[in-house]
């Protein structure tokens, strides 16, 4: 399917999307192209009637709203791509709207749970020091797990106490890191010297001295969660949620947290403005005259 290959290149090179997003979008469009083929239709035949029929077929299959929204987003990008190549003419993609989704409050660990988790990553040797540094840095900066594993050694600036993070669409941001993360990183870098493969620039390495994968780091996180008895469904992204929640609960302004997280829109950051019961109680005790 040449259109699919061209679309994949367009997403990667022109839209500068992450490999995971490109993979998801191309998978969605492959499904749509199969739908067209089963209907005996070609790309040039695409119209609103076909689009509605396709979306209707997804709804009949009982697709979740989140899945449906993603597939419509993928389809909108594909139609824009076809329009930009003048394969489709006068097709207003802006009229193709995703279903309105309810925003869920992100899951997070409270400050005590977070401290318990990080304090229990202890032991001797390369693996323990790497995991300690990785998870301390993840929580200290609020970066995504994909951003963490893509860090290189020169991404860290100990003099300025910052990390140079390459985020979505290749956008770079500078994020401060705290003393706990710095100490853990310095210890890990000593172990890293004896593990690094020739020419490897990655900050976090696997046992072969090569760049570590985000999948492996998820497995390592699960190991420590079991160790401390935290039974919630926790992923590396939960540490990002916790980072944002804790900053806002301690008085950080929304705009600054937006910059630290690398969000393009302030509305994306606003999902973290939920107030925990303990924080609400502190505010009440401090502010109410008869608390």
What are the start-end ranges of the E strands in the chain? Answer: 156-157, 162-166, 172-176
Active-site residue among 144, 192, 241, 246? 144
Confidence of residue 85 (pLDDT cuts 50, 70, 90): confident
Predicted confidence (pLDDT) at residue 291 exceeds the cutoff of 50: no
279 tagged catalytic: no
Active-site residue among 71, 192, 240, 246? 240
Active-site residue among 168, 173, 218, 279? 168
Active-site residue among 71, 192, 246, 263? 263
Q: Which residue has the higher pLDDT, 244 or 66?
A: 244
- 0.85 surpassed by pTM: no
Active-site residue among 164, 173, 237, 279? 237
173 tagged catalytic: no
Predicted confidence (pLDDT) at residue 102 exceeds the cutoff of 70: no
Confidence of residue 204 (pLDDT cuts 50, 70, 90): very high
180 tagged catalytic: no
Domains of the chain plus CATH, in order, are 2-95 (1.10.150.130), 111-284 (1.10.443.10)
240 tagged catalytic: yes
168 tagged catalytic: yes
The full 3-state SS of 49-108, as one line of letters, equals: HHHHHHHHHHHHCCCCHHHHHHHHHHHHHHHHHHHHCCCCCCCCHHHCCCCCCCCCCCCC
Q: Each residue of 27-36: pLDDT tens digit?
A: 999 999 999 9
Mean pLDDT across 136-140 = 95
63 tagged catalytic: no
């Amino acid at each position: 399917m040449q259109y699919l290959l061209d679309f994949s290149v367009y997403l990667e090179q022109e839209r500068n999307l992450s490999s995971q997003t490109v993979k998801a979008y191309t998978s969605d469009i492959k499904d749509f192209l199969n739908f067209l083929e089963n209907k005996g239709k070609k790309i040039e035949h695409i119209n609103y009637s076909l689009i509605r029929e396709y979306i209707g077929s997804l709804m009949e299959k009982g697709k979740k709203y989140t899945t449906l929204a993603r597939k419509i987003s993928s389809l909108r990008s594909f139609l824009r791509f076809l329009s930009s190549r003048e394969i489709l003419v006068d097709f207003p993609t802006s009229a193709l709207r995703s279903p309105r989704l309810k925003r869920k409050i992100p899951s997070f660990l409270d400050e005590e749970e977070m401290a318990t988790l990080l304090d229990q990553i202890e032991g001797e040797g390369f693996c323990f020091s790497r995991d300690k540094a990785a998870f301390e840095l993840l929580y200290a900066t609020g970066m995504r797990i994909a951003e963490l594993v893509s860090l290189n050694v020169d991404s860290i600036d100990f003099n300025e106490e910052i990390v140079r993070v390459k985020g979505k669409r290749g956008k770079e941001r500078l994020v401060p890191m705290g003393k706990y993360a710095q100490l853990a990183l310095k210890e890990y870098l000593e172990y890293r010297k004896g593990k690094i493969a020739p020419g490897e620039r990655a900050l976090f390495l696997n046992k072969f001295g090569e760049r570590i994968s985000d999948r492996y780091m998820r497995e390592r996180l699960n190991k420590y969660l079991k160790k401390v008895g935290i039974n919630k469904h926790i992923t590396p992204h939960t540490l990002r949620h916790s980072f944002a929640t804790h900053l806002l609960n301690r008085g950080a302004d929304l705009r600054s947290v937006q910059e630290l997280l690398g969000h393009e829109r302030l509305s994306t950051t606003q999902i973290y403005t939920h107030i925990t019961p303990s924080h609400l109680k502190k505010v009440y005790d401090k502010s109410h005259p008869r608390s």
